[in-house]
Amino acid sequence: MAVSERPLIDWSRVDTVMLDMDGTLLDLHFDNVFWQYHLPARYAEHHSLTEAVARERLDPVFSGNAGTLSWYCTDFWSDTTGLDVVALKQEVAHLVATLPATLPFLDAVKRRGLPAWLVTNAHPDSVNLKMQRTGLSERFDHIVTSHALGHAKESQAFWARLQDCYPFDPARALFVDDSPSVVAAAAAFGIGQVLALSEPDSQGSVREHSHWPTAATLADIIPDSA
């Protein structure tokens, strides 16, 4: 970083660190492989379809439910596909991995004495699978799923419920996510500092976030000790 460049995050104005899970702490490669390849392949196999026909049937379900609680609900996908989606995820669970900056970032946040919250749209079944694979759960002061609060992070109702359940000062919170619609919702609620990540998948393409402060990964905002 050039000396004249302003840091992306003003850590002196942060009391609470809220972090998305998939694509922020964990490599989105798992989710991309699962949704783009593994589920369509298993769906085709189960219903005796070609993969092309399977994709034709699944694509409208994907696009029609993006950003809703259903999209993030393993029960919804099991009902829709006739497959045991939790078991299917186990089949590719070896791909669950933290992104390289995750542990150094969480260590630095802890050294600074700040609470770290995991704030995710993922279904509790998926959170459990990923916490088991990564051993990250003990590093968070709270693990909050939108499923438990009844609204997806894209909704203002999610943020209002979050504040009811776990009181915090929005103005002194930092929220990091790779989804632009979620970052927009957090900013609209009044989260003081938001950051969009542009490299959620270690093996995927870069995401553009024109409206929000953007970093490639958490590696770019690791705080110094206070």
Q: Nearer Cβ to Mg ion, position 22 or 27? A: 22
Q: Nearer Cβ to Mg ion, position 67 or 115? A: 67
Q: Nearer Cβ to Mg ion, position 42 or 214? A: 214
Binding to Mg ion (CB under 5 A): which residues in 53-82?
Answer: none
Inter-axis angle of helices 180-189 and 156-165, to 10 degrees?
A: 60
The residue within the footprint of Mg ion, chosen from 17, 22, 144, 220 (CB under 5 A), is 22
The residue within the footprint of Mg ion, chosen from 9, 16, 17, 20 (CB under 5 A), is 20
Stretch that binds Mg ion, among 20-28, 52-60, 152-160, 166-174 (CB under 5 A): 20-28
Stretch that binds Mg ion, among 70-78, 84-92, 138-146, 175-183 (CB under 5 A): 175-183
Check residue 23 for interaction with Mg ion (CB under 5 A): yes
Backbone angles phi, psi at 208, to 5 degrees: -95, 135
Check residue 32 for interaction with Mg ion (CB under 5 A): no
In 3D space, the residue among 35, 16, 65 whose CA is nearest the CA of residue 163 turns out to be 16
136: exposed, middle or buried (C-beta count within 10 Å: 0-12, 13-18, 19+)?
Answer: buried
**DSSP class of residue 93?**
G
Q: Is 207 left (phi over 0), alpha (psi -120 to 50) or beta?
A: beta
Who contacts 8 (Cβ-Cβ below 8 Å, separation ≥6)?
Answer: 195, 213, 215, 220, 221
The residue within the footprint of Mg ion, chosen from 31, 178, 199, 201 (CB under 5 A), is 178
Check residue 27 for interaction with Mg ion (CB under 5 A): no
C-beta separation of 137 from 143 below 8 A: yes
Stretch that binds Mg ion, among 3-11, 15-23, 78-86, 132-140 (CB under 5 A): 15-23
Q: Which residues pair with 118 in a beta bridge?
A: 19, 143
Who contacts 19 (Cβ-Cβ below 8 Å, separation ≥6)?
Answer: 25, 116, 117, 118, 119, 175, 176, 218
Q: Nearer Cβ to Mg ion, position 44 or 126? A: 126
- The SS3 of residue 125 is helix
Please state the closest distance from residue 136 (CB atom) to Mg ion, in A. 15
Q: Nearer Cβ to Mg ion, position 20 or 199? A: 20
x/- letters, 146..165, toward Mg ion (CB under 5 A): --------------------
Please state the closest distance from residue 71 (CB atom) to Mg ion, in A. 12
- Binding residues (CB under 5 A) for Mg ion: these are 20, 22-23, 178
